[in-house]
Structure 1
Amino acid sequence: MHLYSASVPDFIKATREGTLVSRLVSAFEQGQSLAPTSSEQKAWRHSLPPLAAVLDDASFERAYIFLELQMPLSSHRCDALLVGRSARGGRPSAVVVELKQWTHAGRSAIPDTVSLGSRTLLHPSAQARGYADFLHHYHSAFTSSDAEIHACAYLHNLEAPAVLGLLRASHVFGPLTRDVPLFAQADAPLLREYLKDCIGAGDGGPLSEAIRSGQAQPSEKLLDVLIQAVEGHFEWRLLDEQRVAFNTITTHVEQAQRSGGKAVIVVRGGPGTGKSVLAIQLLAHAARHQWRIAHAVGSKAFQTVLQAKTEAFATEMLKRIYNVRYQNRLPLRKMFSTFADIAGVGAREENTFDLVVGDEAHRLWNYRRAKFQNFERQLSNTPMVDEMIRASRVTALFLDDNQTVRADEVGTLEHIRSHAESLRVPVTVVDLNAQFRCSGSESYMQWVDHALGFHAPRSLQWREFQGYDFTLVGSMQEMQERLEAKRRLGNKCRIAAGFCWRWSPPKDNGELVHDVSHPSFSGWSAPWIEKTGRDLVPTQHQYFKWATDEAYFSQVGSIYSIQGFEFDYIGVIFGPDLVWREAAWQADLEKNRDTAFRRDLKRSGTDGTERLRNIYRVLLTRGMRGTLVYFIDHQTRARFEALLQP
């Protein structure tokens, strides 16, 4: 996906004629289903002419340009990609060019970032390097050829020598601008010579066509590379805000170790913005540096699978981190723990950990408690978040305000900030906005949010999901057949549903009860995820088996088994507990069979509409490549059908 591609001479001509920006706007609306922001249009209007002026040279007559090229498997876009042949050997070659209108920038305490007013932003050269690295590893035009790829930054409005000196300072940014050059306003001739060396020595047509017709290479799904990542043999390639968040957290840990201070970092992002990847990468980084690290997660299913994947080496790794011989001397017995486990440590002792990483922190409770079969008991009168902050020098909490499921979940930014401030611990907030799930389709995520009433997107017009496959199926048989076809092609698929049916234990002979049935299914039925019990080791638990073993495709998952996971294709049964009536969403709790959910709602005095919208938002955004949906309620289906119309 890209908004514009042409030969460099055609690009220069369109820039001079003043038609380029309108073409970019039109392409953006066609591909994104919404209009570009005024700031995006301003950037095109002011940054592309200076680039065109640099490229106005005979050396680039056979070169090509892509504008707003979307990164594979992500919603990030690079400003420009130039394609030609290298002067060093004549190989096919490309250059990522990051364009900035900056006239000033200040020093930041976070590595590879600068301060721009109140914002902390990635250094332009680091941003360009990230895009080039992503294309090199995930775009077939580069993974399946010997094509070179380079990167640079062009700050065409920057004149201040002091700012330029800061941005190029090796004592601040190391070899960054040596490897990825940064050019200012007066450096246009130097930029031209650099580009001549990279792409000015021959025909860029073949590589340009390979980029235009290329495919995204399969991404490293979290569970597939979890062990390598935790052991330090694999790192995800972090882009833009992801890199800022990672560097912010690691820098605060280093500062806290030196000064003895404390900090809370809240990382906010919707589904698919890379929160769990960041959390695991932080765990691996901390282990390599012998930091006393704890990782906690709000989802029992996600925690169980992480434990099962790493149980063969987790205990010995924790012993090395904490420098103890016996497991009973560890502050936590498991590498992947719960919020209650961390809070329990904080109730006993302060600053046991250098870093606590709390994934899915929107699922925090008010107070630590023990949960039993038919009742629960409060274990502390101190708020859980206070105990967690007390347990560690740095507490990094990853959350999405619109993923809270139960009425007793309180993990919002406001809740965390108020408690941290009462403890006199400073709070830093980093927002993740890019999309790495759903084929990087930001428009799909915005459309789902609009359909479920979270917010109105910049445009209500529907066009397409940037290659993301979204289908309303007419029957459960159709959903089953479509997913089976995807599975035969090697895709990982699951079916999940709203909790609208009872969940029965297996029969005496081990056969599962097909609780998930309905007259509208026309004979199709399926069992819920197998009920294997509470006290099994992680590798025998139903959550681990359902998430990792394709033999369990026939079992239907719920919000509790799917939150935190991703699959190539997800089939969703949209139950009758959330319906569209009189231009609004309404909860019908008589159709919901989640006893604990209904009990919590009754205790909180809420009707459940908000929580049910959150639940279906999670279910609809678990797919990497596609989502298939069957609606039991006809009016609710009509709501979605109407939003699909152009």
Structure 2
Amino acid sequence: MIVYDGLKSEFLKSCESDSIAIEIEENILSKLGRHTPKSEFRSWENSLNYMYKVLNDNEIPNDVGIAIEFNIPQTSKRVDFIISGFDSSNEPNMVIVELKQWEGLKALDGVDALVETYTGGAVRKVVHPSYQAWSYAQLILDYNASVQDRRVKLHPCACLHNYIRHDNDPLDSKQYKDYLDEAPAFTKGHASDLRKFIKKSIIYGDKKEVLYLVDHGKIRPSKSLQNAIASMLKGNREFIMIDEQKVAYEEILRLSLQCQKDYKKRTVIVTGGPGTGKSVIAVNLLAELTARDQMVQYVSKNSAPRQVYLKKLKGIMRKSSVDNMFKGSGTYTETGLNVAHTLLVDEAHRLNEKSGMFHNRGENQIKEIIHSSFCSVFFIDESQRVTMDDIGSVEEIEKWAKEEESELFYLELQSQFRCNGSDGYLAWLDDVLDIRETANYDLEGIDYDIRVFDSPVEMWDTVNEKNKLANRARVLAGYCWEWLKSEQNNTNYHDIKIGDFEMSWNLGSGEPFAVSETSINEVGCIHTSQGLEFDYVGVIIGDDMRYENGKVVTDFTRRAKTDQSLKGIKKLYKENPELAKRRADEIIKNTYRTLLTRGMKGCYIYCTDKNMEEYLKKRLETCNDRKNYTAN
């Protein structure tokens, strides 16, 4: 959908009469039903007056098409400005312009396509404008049948009209070269360069014909996108499905394809514990359904799983249209009914009610995901809800599926592929942590390397040795140590200090914690490890979980002040102390249960509370005594 469209002559006239921003505001109200904030209105006035200066050139035909705020179908993304026309060979062309008000930015090393700039009232990490323009063009190319069939050529660029460029400018840092080559960035004082860029591909006017084609194009993944993701999965052993995973995959595939045929809504709830292959199934479905001409996306609340699986698929590739297939759970606040064929929601227990940085957007993420797709698939483990904001539950999904008139289906992954083929370790943990009583008082018959260490240094040394085998061992910790934002990229600043043991929380820049070669020298938290797995993990249990008077107790007051997972617990405690204690107890125990199940082959533990250490050792001694007795 296009909020504003017209010919160049009409656009110039509206700019000259100072009515262009008013026209867009009125169109947004009538087409989208929302009012425009003053800041957005001012940004239109500033940016569009600059585009008036750029387009006020006789060599750019008066009948070229102009589109402002083009909503890319099946997404909530909007392209700021488009110029359409024909090139010298009378082939359809579109110039895509990403407009920015920025006056400066900071380049970020070690992360792909991210910069830091002042926007939205604060300094934030955002994507480089050239990457943004390129990714929007790629999204249109990958999913718009008219663009594919009519071979519409897309030319993305960025325009930072308030930005004064200098020699060796961070905007042009070498890590952004691939994206700048695809989508050049034009800055203040370079309107003539942007004008030349437009005139290379727009020679003749199209009277909005190309805009109409694109706006009414059917949704269909391109062959190049299908081939790209298929080739990434081919031969990638990490995504091979076994046994029950394959059964679940085939059933979800059948249901999704049925939605594609009869246009009825279906919601699939897939329950399964840690390591049961939920993510493996999701990634395989992503590839297969794309090959079946569906628009399908992998969705998660946490960015860590998306980053890691994308990295594993792409390998050394930096630039791929597959990037657009991995989305955050807050993406669907403004998308329409059934805009996607299938949405695959991993870690669904982590979904929130509201979206956005300030939790003020949308109504409910579960509702919005079901509303936005014909087939919604939720992979969920209710025992992994680890923050006050986590609302993902089977009951909540059922409620919204019924409201959206979506038929419900249930699948369960029972086999435990982590912990060497047994779910006995999980049951043992539940018993040990007083989460629930189980029959697994010991670890009889479970071939799993679990140890409790007296020293964090000794534990780290053991994890480090294991990591040398395949870079698949990490140290994790409960959130009991402050995380200083000012030092987030300083590996020499040690947030976690226990006697002579000092380490940093995982750094804010660089590759994802789960795959980076340097992560062994950092400590991961629940937010960078949940949904992922390693061969071995070392877990530091902090003072928020102790052993007192014969019981495992939790204490939310020992959590770091910078921990957002228990945000609001103090207020709740004043209003309802018992409820607050129950919520905090569940979150803290679920957090450690999740951390303690990240290792497939082994888990090494250090406790800051000596009573907790002795308790765990005794439980393990009981296991060893039972094994020795059975052997004799």
Closer/same/farther in 2, CA of residues 412 and 548 from structure 1, 3 Å limit: same
Tell me by how many angstroms 1:360 deviates: 0.2
Which residue in 2 is equivalent to 1:486?
466
State how far apart, in whole Å, the 1-side matches of 2:585 and 2:293 are.
45
Q: CA offsets, 1:119-172, max 9 Å, x none?
A: xxxxxxxxxxxxxxxxxxxxxxxxxxxxxxxxxxxxxxxxxxxxxxxxxxxxxx
Closer/same/farther in 2, CA of residues 616 and 229 from structure 1, 3 Å limit: farther
2:520 is equivalent to residue 553 of structure 1 = yes
Q: Say if 2:472 and 2:536, in contact at 8 Å, map to a contact too.
A: yes
State how far apart, in whole Å, the 2-side matches of 1:484 and 1:379 are.
43
Which residue in 1 is equivalent to 2:501?
524
2:594 is equivalent to residue 618 of structure 1 = yes
Which residue in 2 is equivalent to 1:370?
356
State how far apart, in whole Å, the 1-side matches of 2:444 and 2:456 are.
26
Q: Say if 1:314 and 1:335, in contact at 8 Å, map to a contact too.
A: no
Which residue in 2 is equivalent to 1:424?
405
Q: Say if 1:580 and 1:639, in contact at 8 Å, map to a contact too.
A: yes
Which residue in 2 is equivalent to 1:409?
390
1:282 match: secondary structure: helix
Which residue in 2 is equivalent to 1:351?
338
Q: Say if 1:492 and 1:550, in contact at 8 Å, map to a contact too.
A: no
State how far apart, in whole Å, the 1-side matches of 2:549 and 2:261 are.
59
Tell me by how many angstroms 1:293 deviates: 0.3
2:244 is equivalent to residue 241 of structure 1 = yes
Closer/same/farther in 2, CA of residues 472 and 603 from structure 1, 3 Å limit: same
Closer/same/farther in 2, CA of residues 418 and 637 from structure 1, 3 Å limit: same
Tell me by how many angstroms 1:308 deviates: 4.4
Which residue in 1 is equivalent to 2:180?
none
State how far apart, in whole Å, the 1-side matches of 2:423 and 2:335 are.
44
Tell me by how many angstroms 1:283 deviates: 0.6
Which residue in 1 is equivalent to 2:552?
585
Tell me by how many angstroms 1:274 deviates: 0.7
Q: Say if 1:267 and 1:432, in contact at 8 Å, map to a contact too.
A: yes
2:283 match: secondary structure: helix
Q: Say if 1:241 and 1:431, in contact at 8 Å, map to a contact too.
A: no
2:613 match: secondary structure: helix
2:328 is equivalent to residue 338 of structure 1 = yes
2:264 is equivalent to residue 264 of structure 1 = no
What residue ranges of structure 2 are gaps of 5+ in the alignment?
Answer: 1-227, 574-579, 627-632
Q: CA offsets, 1:328-364, max 9 Å, x none?
A: xxxxx722111111x22xx431111111000000011
Letter in 2 for 1:383: N
State how far apart, in whole Å, the 2-side matches of 1:264 and 1:288 are.
21
State how far apart, in whole Å, the 2-side matches of 1:269 and 1:496 are.
23
Letter in 1 for 2:285: L
What residue ranges of structure 1 are gaps of 5+ in the alignment?
Answer: 1-225, 319-332, 533-539
1:457 match: secondary structure: coil
State how far apart, in whole Å, the 2-side matches of 1:229 and 1:618 are.
32
Which residue in 2 is equivalent to 1:537?
none
Tell me by how many angstroms 1:250 deviates: 0.9
Aligned pairs for 1:179-218 within 5 A: none
Closer/same/farther in 2, CA of residues 316 and 506 from structure 1, 3 Å limit: closer
Tell me by how many angstroms 1:615 deviates: 0.5
Tell me by how many angstroms 1:239 deviates: 3.9
Which residue in 1 is equivalent to 2:539?
572
Q: Say if 1:268 and 1:432, in contact at 8 Å, map to a contact too.
A: yes
Tell me by how many angstroms 1:548 deviates: 1.3
Tell me by how many angstroms 1:277 deviates: 0.6
Tell me by how many angstroms 1:556 deviates: 0.7
Q: Say if 2:427 and 2:438, in contact at 8 Å, map to a contact too.
A: yes
State how far apart, in whole Å, the 1-side matches of 2:345 and 2:475 are.
28
State how far apart, in whole Å, the 1-side matches of 2:233 and 2:563 are.
40
State how far apart, in whole Å, the 2-side matches of 1:489 and 1:510 are.
27
Letter in 2 for 1:642: K
Tell me by how many angstroms 1:449 deviates: 2.0
1:378 match: secondary structure: coil
Q: CA offsets, 1:376-431, max 9 Å, x none?
A: 14112x32211110111100000100001111111000110011112221111111
Moved beyond 6 Å, runs of 4+? 226-229, 311-315
Closer/same/farther in 2, CA of residues 597 and 508 from structure 1, 3 Å limit: closer
Q: Say if 1:506 and 1:530, in contact at 8 Å, map to a contact too.
A: no
1:266 match: secondary structure: strand
Q: Say if 2:270 and 2:377, in contact at 8 Å, map to a contact too.
A: yes
Q: Say if 1:230 and 1:281, in contact at 8 Å, map to a contact too.
A: no
Q: Say if 1:357 and 1:396, in contact at 8 Å, map to a contact too.
A: yes
Q: Say if 2:267 and 2:408, in contact at 8 Å, map to a contact too.
A: yes
Closer/same/farther in 2, CA of residues 590 and 252 from structure 1, 3 Å limit: same
Q: Percent identity?
A: 28
The structure 2 residue matched to 1:295, chosen from 294, 298, 302, is 298
**Matched positions, count:** 384
Q: Say if 2:431 and 2:440, in contact at 8 Å, map to a contact too.
A: no
Which residue in 2 is equivalent to 1:306?
309
Which residue in 2 is equivalent to 1:472?
452
Letter in 1 for 2:283: I
Q: Say if 1:295 and 1:358, in contact at 8 Å, map to a contact too.
A: yes
State how far apart, in whole Å, the 2-side matches of 1:250 and 1:453 are.
39
Q: Say if 1:504 and 1:513, in contact at 8 Å, map to a contact too.
A: no
State how far apart, in whole Å, the 2-side matches of 1:435 and 1:585 are.
26
Closer/same/farther in 2, CA of residues 401 and 432 from structure 1, 3 Å limit: same
Closer/same/farther in 2, CA of residues 309 and 464 from structure 1, 3 Å limit: closer
Q: What TM-score does the superposition give when structure 1 sets the normalisation length?
A: 0.56
Closer/same/farther in 2, CA of residues 474 and 243 from structure 1, 3 Å limit: same
Q: What TM-score does the superposition give when structure 2 sets the normalisation length?
A: 0.57
Which residue in 1 is equivalent to 2:430?
449
The structure 2 residue matched to 1:595, chosen from 550, 554, 563, is 563
Q: CA offsets, 1:463-519, max 9 Å, x none?
A: 3532x1101111112112222332344452111111111112466994531121123
Which residue in 1 is equivalent to 2:615?
639
State how far apart, in whole Å, the 1-side matches of 2:270 and 2:503 are.
38
2:361 is equivalent to residue 379 of structure 1 = yes
2:343 match: secondary structure: strand
2:605 is equivalent to residue 629 of structure 1 = yes
Q: Say if 1:230 and 1:283, in contact at 8 Å, map to a contact too.
A: no
